[in-house]
Structure 1
Amino acid sequence: MSDLLGSVWWLIVSIGVLVTFHEFGHFWVARRCDVKVLRFSVGFGKALWSRRGHDDTEYMIAAIPLGGYVKMLDEREGDVAPADASRAFNRKTVWQRIAIVAAGPIANLLLCVLLLWAMFVIGRPDFAPTLGHVDGIAAQSGFRVGDTLLKVGDRDTPTWSEAALALTTAALDRDEIAVQVRAADGDRHTRKLDLSKLPAGFDEPRAVQLAGLTPRHRLTPPVVGEIQPGSPAYGVLAEGDRLTAIDGMPITAFDDIRPLIQRLGDQGGVAMVEVLRDGERLALELKPQRRNDPDGKAYWALGVAPPAIQQIPAYDARLQFGPLTAIPAAFSETWRLATDSFAMIGRMFGGSASVENVSGPITIARYANASAQLGVAWFLNFLALLSLSLAIINLLPIPVLDGGHLLYYLIELVKGSPLSERAMAAGQYVGLALLASLMGLAFYNDILGLVR
């Protein structure tokens, strides 16, 4: 399946699942409050399939799978038979109306917990939070190659995903964060990473890298992919050779080669290069060659380059709990993700985080496809995040959204009577304008992401 078709398919699956749960929340509570439900629709527009249930509700799947709705009997939207007047939504108490409207976002919150529980039980494969390269701010803070990040601030980091998220959040706040690590020798240390030293306006997705932390799994293996003709390595090394040491200094990544070669070249003489070839260890002599870069700066080189196509490393960690321990873990993770989401909204309003974090359907589709390719656990994790996001967005106090209706009902509780039709209509127009602006920003970010 192509990326385009895969993205469209998994977007439809994701939105279909989340919208069905959201609308079922409204539907279920409405029925408990004895409100007559006229239609339960997944999707908008022309009906692709529909049937009328024994409860006289029309169940429908519509052509545009980017939403859904529950249509309830309401005297403000048309004539209501006297026999059904007591079952109209507008006749219910304000607390019943609040319960019905809030039930959609609550259903998405509960779905988030359920999806996270399933993800924890299945086990999400990931990479260990072990550092493979350290420089810049991290090196100045005492971090070393081989350090495994155990905790960032007060947040445990069993995998690199948790570590990267916690570090990025601290970077947005430009905090000095305490990081608990297990060094390569097994000893535990607490190191202070001063993220206030990051440059102004730094690229948020690259915050961890800019801080000087590169995980082990993102290093380029020290494998020879290309040898330049006429270079010192030509005729000595072979494609596929894995360099293990240069003059006794061990090599774990391709980036380790250059500084060692520079030092040896400056000292003069021949370098003893140890390689692994077809399971056999070899010690080969090479003399670095002096060259000039395009700016005329001299450097030393062997004349080797890594393979053009890098092999994806195997996962070496797993985030997993038993069925019982996964229950509190799922609730705890939902709470953490929710607080992080609200904090991010606050940062965007405050200007400490970029509005590029607002994503639209194109980005969601791409992430849906990518997570589905990574396996069931990663897709469940993605669905949980999306379900939580849907709940939070719907709770925003914007007329048209559930949060806007809840705002109306809270005002009604305070003033003792419903808002006037004129005030509610004005609010709807304001809500539509705000929603259109939000969608416009999301689409702009989507297109900008595709261009990049």
Structure 2
Amino acid sequence: MSDIVGSIWWMVVALGVLVTFHEFGHYWVAKRCGVKVLRFSVGFGKPLWSRTDRHGTEFAIAAIPLGGYVKMLDEAEGDVPASELPQAFNRKPVLQRIAIVAAGPIANLVLCVALLWAMFVIGRQDYSATVGQARGLAAKAGFVAGDRIQAVDGQTINTWGDALQAMTTAAMDRHDPQILVSDRMGVEHTRSLSLSDLPAGFDQENVAGLAGFAWQHQLAPALVEKTQPGSPASKVLIAGDLITAVDGDPVRSFGDISPLVQKLGARGGVAMIEVERNGERLALDIQPVWTHDQDSGKEYWTLGIPPPTQLKPAPYDAKQQFGPLAAIPAAFRETGKLASGSLGMIRRMLTGQASIKNISGPITIAQVANATAKRGIDWFLYFLALLSLSLAIINLMPIPVLDGGHLLYYLIELVKGSPLSERAMATGQYVGLAMLASLMGLAFYNDIFRLVT
């Protein structure tokens, strides 16, 4: 229940911030162009709060917090007194109308850069792209546990999220990326990952998993939560011990223990198990025993250490942080990178390379808003920046009803020297509404499908 309330609250906060900036862009440029603004509303429906300034503009917060609008004086909206005709939007030169309409998406782009700048100054904590386990295509390419991905096709990789995005894009394009890694000893290698071998119709949300990667931070730590009574572990280990090595072989996750124990049992004799206990490193004698599992019918060597049942998030091992000045170009670079990725995804969906399942609606947005807010201010700022950029890109699409559709009308007017006919614009509005309704329907379907599955 708390997650539902949190999701709704943080989505309202996010949309409130982004819509306010978007509409302020329209408002600010409209005022500079001498257009009279009748209403500046955050949200739709009945106003919950409003006030009117000395210029006659009503500022309102409405009941439905899923958008907003700026209403300007316009003859298309109703009769305009002769004395106010010079302040009507439709009476302004076409270049000024283009500037007013484009100001909303531009405001979102500016906000995206500002949010990323703040995020970089604070510092965004994340996980490095360190391989925990490699199977399948990853193992075939030569990846091993401990490899840290540094670049994919020349693109610098700072976090595991960067690596996921680069791999997913390459898989959609049926391209085999060249991946630069540094191994445990710091030696660099370039490995070719055969993502084109993934089957047709592969799950585009799990490319790394399908390729055989498990990331280091996702693996259960080799932590002793308890020991089985009478087992070898019960005689030397206690709850809270962190196992670091078995018979000299390093242990980086709980999954490393069993293969090493089988190897140790096959060798026979006593071995050393190394642990960290209360800040001290200890080396203890231990010898596995042969056991029969009555439930599965399998026989194997064991120490008697059940896997942990309560997993804590792994500590962050990567951080992107810059000083106030260095964060400025970093924010512009990140904005360009995110914009390129978003436009590339749209292109791939239009060409069929990317699945339309990648389209998300308000339910997913609300869930991500809540999740990022829980992770910290750095992640919530990143989420807001990405959402602000998405809002700018969507609004610039040449779909009637959206800002991009109006810009298309005005560009046609600029070329032909006269406005489109009212009939043509009305037809465009109906087409735009149908396209927008279809897009929203698809987004809601994807959201609900994710919840159900």
TM-score (normalised: structure 2): 0.92
User: 2: CA distance between counterparts of 1:362 and 1:118?
Assistant: 27
Cα offsets for 1:113-147 (capped at 9, x unmatched): 11111111111111233223222222222223222
1:339 aligns with 2:344: no
- Cross-structure match for 2:27: 27
- The alignment of Structure 1 onto Structure 2 pairs a total of residues equal to 452
Structure 1 window deviating more from structure 2 (264-273 vs 89-98): it is: 264-273
Cα offsets for 1:152-200 (capped at 9, x unmatched): 2222122333233222222322321122222222222222222212233
User: 1: CA distance between counterparts of 2:363 and 2:82?
Assistant: 47
User: 1: CA distance between counterparts of 2:152 and 2:294?
Assistant: 40
- Cross-structure match for 1:14: 14
Contact 1:291–1:301 (CA<8 Å) still a contact in 2?
no
- Measured after TM superposition, the shift of residue 354 of structure 1 is 1.8
Coordinate RMSD, CA, aligned: 2.3
- Measured after TM superposition, the shift of residue 277 of structure 1 is 4.7
Are the structure 2 counterparts of residues 123 and 280 from structure 1 closer, same or farther at C-alpha, using a change threshold of 3 Å? closer
Q: In the alignment, residue 328 of structure 2 is paired with which amino acid? A: I
- Cross-structure match for 1:354: 355
1:371 aligns with 2:372: yes
- Cross-structure match for 2:177: 177
Q: In the alignment, residue 449 of structure 2 is paired with which amino acid? A: L
Task: Describe the SS at the equivalent of 1:448.
Answer: helix
Contact 1:271–1:288 (CA<8 Å) still a contact in 2?
no
Q: In the alignment, residue 183 of structure 1 is paired with which amino acid? A: D
- Cross-structure match for 1:105: 105
User: 1: CA distance between counterparts of 2:149 and 2:77?
Assistant: 58
1:146 aligns with 2:146: yes
User: 2: CA distance between counterparts of 1:280 and 1:411?
Assistant: 74
- Measured after TM superposition, the shift of residue 57 of structure 1 is 0.9
Question: Percent identity, aligned pairs only?
Answer: 62
Cα offsets for 1:264-298 (capped at 9, x unmatched): 45556666544445546243433343546978666
Q: In the alignment, residue 173 of structure 2 is paired with which amino acid? A: D
Are the structure 2 counterparts of residues 227 and 198 from structure 1 closer, same or farther at C-alpha, using a change threshold of 3 Å? farther
- Cross-structure match for 1:427: 428
Q: List aligned pairs for 1:30-429, cutoff 5 A.
A: 30-228=30-228, 233=233, 237-265=237-265, 273-277=273-277, 279=280, 281-291=282-292, 299-429=300-430
Q: In the alignment, residue 329 of structure 2 is paired with which amino acid? A: P
Contact 1:148–1:183 (CA<8 Å) still a contact in 2?
yes
- Measured after TM superposition, the shift of residue 235 of structure 1 is 5.6
- Measured after TM superposition, the shift of residue 45 of structure 1 is 0.6
Task: Describe the SS at the equivalent of 2:205.
Answer: helix
Task: Describe the SS at the equivalent of 1:125.
Answer: strand
Cα offsets for 1:87-119 (capped at 9, x unmatched): 211112222211111111111011111111111
- Structure 2: gaps spanning 5 or more residues: none
Contact 2:47–2:62 (CA<8 Å) still a contact in 1?
yes
Are the structure 2 counterparts of residues 241 and 199 from structure 1 closer, same or farther at C-alpha, using a change threshold of 3 Å? farther
Q: In the alignment, residue 93 of structure 1 is paired with which amino acid? A: P
Cα offsets for 1:341-393 (capped at 9, x unmatched): 01101112222222121111111111111111111111111100000000011
User: 2: CA distance between counterparts of 1:259 and 1:317?
Assistant: 29
Contact 2:233–2:286 (CA<8 Å) still a contact in 1?
no
Structure 1 window deviating more from structure 2 (336-345 vs 283-292): it is: 283-292
TM-score (normalised: structure 1): 0.93
User: 1: CA distance between counterparts of 2:355 and 2:67?
Assistant: 27
User: 2: CA distance between counterparts of 1:264 and 1:18?
Assistant: 59
Are the structure 2 counterparts of residues 287 and 121 from structure 1 closer, same or farther at C-alpha, using a change threshold of 3 Å? closer
Task: Describe the SS at the equivalent of 2:151.
Answer: strand
